[in-house]
Amino acid sequence: MNPLDILQSFGGVARTSALLDAGISRRELRRFPSSVRQPKRGVYAAEGCHPGYFKAIMANAVLTCASAAEEYGLWLRMSPAVPHLAANHGHEPSSAVRHRGLRFPAQARLPIASLADTVIHALICLPASQSVPIATSALARGLSAEQIEHELRARRLGPALKAFRLVNTLVESEPEAEAWVILLALARRLGVSVVAQAMIPGLGRVDFLVAGWLIVEIDGVAFHSSRDSVRRDRARDNTASLLGYARLRYVPEVVWREPDRLASEVEAVLTGRLRVPKN
């Protein structure tokens, strides 16, 4: 692999020490083409390099929280407007969300926090509607729930621990994870049960079963993509009604953009009254 390809394998930006460890000689560093610049001593950046990696390395930091979640491919509804950076020093740039307390080794080649630190910072920084899906998908990737709970308890991060305990590893998508947070809060307030991925005899698995008789489904991206899927959904709706279940269906956009509508409509069915969400 030639030196430029090695640099590109780091996302187009890397420290001198990392490039030397990767097998590039100091003579080869001096022969990089003009498209590779040195924005500061000890850093090489190719044209079009990864902007998040560049900002992290320039700040002697690593990506974390929502920024690292995106790199890991965790459940994240949208990219963060500014990078989330973490370091054990106080010199991160003002145009970033700053995090402290890196407790685990970052990735070896790329400026990305460990999966554990990424989740912990998300639980501290983001609302539950965003941090719970991140944590849920991280646990599905093999992250230890006991490890995260231990760290949160040891650091006395009560609000973050409270959010982490909302995680339900049975949910199967980002919008389902957000819907779970909404439905769980509603169910607790009304004193009823809510079960994710409930199995109903004669019907099959449903996304959520509230109070034992209200089915709430979150349709996927490919919802109603064919006549066969429409027929299957209608048949399931009819079967649910014949079995005595009420049913509500929502597309992900309702979960993301109108969470109050979802909560008020579910409550309306459960209680027989509609609470109109405030504008």
The CATH 3.40.960.10 portion of the chain extends over 174-271
For 43, the 3-state DSSP assignment is strand
Model-level pTM? 0.90
Mean of per-residue pLDDT scores for the chain? 92
Measured at the CA of 40, the angle between CA 37 and CA 43, to 5 degrees, comes to 65
For residue 275, is pLDDT > 60?
no
Out of 18-22, 88-92, 186-190, pick the least confident: 88-92
Q: How confident is the model at residue 117 (pLDDT cuts 50, 70, 90)?
A: very high
User: What share of the chain has pLDDT > 70, as a percent?
Assistant: 92
How far, rounded to the nearest angstrom, does the alpha carbon of residue 61 sit from its chain's CA centroid? 21
CB 230 within 8 A of CB 152: no
Confidence (pLDDT) at 95: 84
Q: What is the DSSP string of 139-205?
A: HHTT--HHHHHHHHHHTT-HHHHHHHTT--TT--SHHHHHHHHHHHHHHHHHT--EEEEEEETTTEE
As given in the structure block, the two tokens for residue 234 are 């209608």
Question: Burial, 35: exposed, middle or buried (Cβ in 10 Å; 0-12, 13-18, 19+)?
Answer: exposed
Sorted by sequence, the CB contacts under 8 Å of residue 105 that are 6+ apart come out as 114
Count CB-CB contacts under 10 A for residue 253.
9
For 253, the 3-state DSSP assignment is helix
pLDDT digits (tens, 9 = 90+) for 181-217: 999 999 999 999 999 999 999 999 999 999 999 999 9
Confidence (pLDDT) at 278: 56
Q: Which of 122, 116, 200 is nearest to 160 (CA)?
A: 122
pLDDT digits (tens, 9 = 90+) for 129-159: 999 999 999 999 999 999 999 999 999 999 9
d(CA 259, CA 182): 7
Higher local confidence (pLDDT), 176 or 224? 176
As given in the structure block, the two tokens for residue 121 are 């910072």
Confidence (pLDDT) at 91: 61
174-271 sits in which CATH class? alpha beta
Higher local confidence (pLDDT), 8 or 89? 8
